[in-house]
Structure 1
């Protein structure tokens, strides 16, 4: 922290004291996720945005925006360069990616297991199975090891998601075979995808290498949205859904609502019987 303050343009006891809280929060997040406490590695736009997005789950929008503004201003002074752009863009609501339809999901389930090599089939099975079957995104998968996936036999599989949004997620039955294929015969300490925890966009790189046979490109965010759409059209309490998804609010679910028609049709859910309920 001293190195950051000395290298910054902070002036005055009150300003330094206020910034210590922001710096300490970012440093604690960096330590928890294996980043070296070096200003060059920590004071970057990517890590600051990741911390604000994931590492402050209980903070309001104003608090998060203010902390991001101050940390990025520090980064511009202490660590200028390509990792800290001069123009600070405001925090924007991330538009949700539409889910795949049930028909598209079925195609991806089939394609995952018929890749040119066994390794690619294994990796793509993990990407598709964990995305559409357990709602894991690329950040969740980055930290996931084989031992985090618990196979309980007949009851199914459970993923103990590590990383910034730890949670426990049962794998949807339709994706269980893919997830089992992805971890079969592997050591508990192996990363499910890749070799290094600090690698980025590993799921996207696997999707880029996949032989998809004229099928549209696989996107991890859309696989996660597909899992959400599947749950939203099943009788799952919203509290359980939010907890399994690692969501702090239902905003994402609201944004997915316009895309649910194919899933409602797939499950034979019409407004009449579903909304009328039983006599009680």
Structure 2
């Protein structure tokens, strides 16, 4: 149970808008209890979980609003998918957040572990990179080695580089070098510069559906509800002749090790159906899937919750909701230790094989939203000048801190809500000029980040205008507030420009992928667990030849890939 007092207070005072007074009186205890058991990290996530559960209960999914709802029985994957289809068809927003919250709530209600995203994949074998290379250089090395430059490849590469982290005196020398490079990082020009646009004065409302479209939507909802209530329909038996000859022969001759012949004779038809339906392309893939399938079926046969434990396992029983997840949890807790990658591979293979049994699967199409390009250097300079000429001291303070921390350290809105005055520290070393760092003390990604020299004066200006206590929040007054900042900058023509923190963070990331620092260091500074955002930024950049520049004085790293020059008798590095 979540013991965060702010979370519990938000849940205690939560009142939905989608449920009536009578329905909320019946569902309140169950909704708040399940929302607390999902352990939201902050009040905003707690409110979002309660909203998702109330949105689900407001639909026609089995609750008659006559008694307290049994959420463990109602929150099935089929019912959730039907709700998401209905929500997306009506033009509802935050479909992805709604899906994630309902999935987490359903697993929590049934006592299942919430799976985490697989963070690494098999490492790409690239021999042309070093620790002292920017993300652009690494991407170019991957491309020249014939490897795909994708988020999974970069994430796996970061895991490989993380294992070779230097220690001792070498680590301290490298840290000074990387610090100097980060401090001198400049804003780079994107191939798709984004222009700041005025904030619209009136919100745009979606166009109302025509009567014909509304009738078609209602028919689709009734059909989806009937399909969800009737259960899955088995797909036709797959034809082994559709497989390559060597794969079909390997499946015919397959026999699992350590299994009795009688048990294999019972499980063999269903095992072959699962593997054949997943359409393996090679012998190794077919054997690996057959091994995963037979172990899963042997476990499912022993489950006491089967309708008839003595009967032979059928394909319909395998389509039970969350059966694969229950098996993965069983392997994680009772078998020999398995790596997260091994369990993720088993889960993926079983989902593919079991999914091929369903003739009418319910699927929610996901749309990819491309990352918009960062601000251009001229726009960054314009924002820097604009925040210092605002009509009030409060606007200057909030604007300077927001722009300085977002463009200078890559802080997102989720990070800015926790930063206090004491979290910004000035450092002074023998080899570097004074520089600032900011520490994010809480939230999903606590970390300490160096603030670039270009935006350190803005942060110092914001701190000078801050009149609160050292432990007071720099922006806002409550950590659990819904909006971190709603500040709009006023131009000379009295046009209001809303600060886009997400795009300013993208600008910082775009500048950092040009800096020769280790990829694991960049992911840690950005608070990222995968390199998906970095992969999205690569199309906006062009790999230009290195040029000689001067920077802060710092010891150069051994075998550095960056260029060096001499200034004042000292070697300086970019």
Distance across 2 between alignment mates of 1:90 and 1:147: 46
Deviations 1:163-217 (A, max 9, x none): 22101100011110001111125421111111121222233x11x2x11346864
Residues 1:123 and 2:398 are matched in the alignment: yes
CA RMSD of aligned residues (A): 4.0
Equivalent of 1:7 in 30, 55, 58: 30
Equivalent of 1:211 in 482, 490, 499: 490
Deviations 1:78-107 (A, max 9, x none): xxxxxxxxxx97776664332101111111
Aligned partners of 1:168 and 1:244 also within 8 Å: yes
Three-state SS of the structure 2 residue aligned to 1:202 is coil
Distance across 2 between alignment mates of 1:122 and 1:225: 22
Query: Partner of 1:139 in structure 2?
Result: 414
Distance across 1 between alignment mates of 2:374 and 2:29: 48
Equivalent of 2:457 in 177, 182, 188: 177
Equivalent of 2:473 in 191, 199, 218: 191
Equivalent of 2:389 in 106, 109, 114: 114
Residues 1:44 and 2:77 are matched in the alignment: no
Deviations 1:132-153 (A, max 9, x none): 0000111111111111111225
Structure 1 segments unaligned to the other structure (5+ residues) = 9-18, 47-63, 76-87
Indicate how the Cα distance of structure 1 residues 118 and 40 shifts in structure 2: closer, same or farther if over 3 A, else same: closer
Indicate how the Cα distance of structure 1 residues 66 and 195 shifts in structure 2: closer, same or farther if over 3 A, else same: closer
Aligned partners of 1:109 and 1:128 also within 8 Å: yes
Distance across 2 between alignment mates of 1:91 and 1:168: 34
Residues 1:98 and 2:377 are matched in the alignment: no
Query: Partner of 2:175 in structure 1?
Result: none
Indicate how the Cα distance of structure 1 residues 181 and 90 shifts in structure 2: closer, same or farther if over 3 A, else same: farther
Three-state SS of the structure 1 residue aligned to 2:439 is strand
Answer 1 or 2: which has greater helix percent: 1
Indicate how the Cα distance of structure 1 residues 91 and 69 shifts in structure 2: closer, same or farther if over 3 A, else same: farther
Query: Partner of 1:228 in structure 2?
Result: 509
Distance across 2 between alignment mates of 1:104 and 1:36: 32
Q: How does 1:43-82 map to 2 (within 5 A)?
A: 43-45=50-52, 68-71=101-104
How many residue pairs are counted as aligned between the two chains? 220
Aligned partners of 1:166 and 1:246 also within 8 Å: yes
Residues 1:255 and 2:536 are matched in the alignment: yes
> TM-score, normalised on structure 2?
0.34
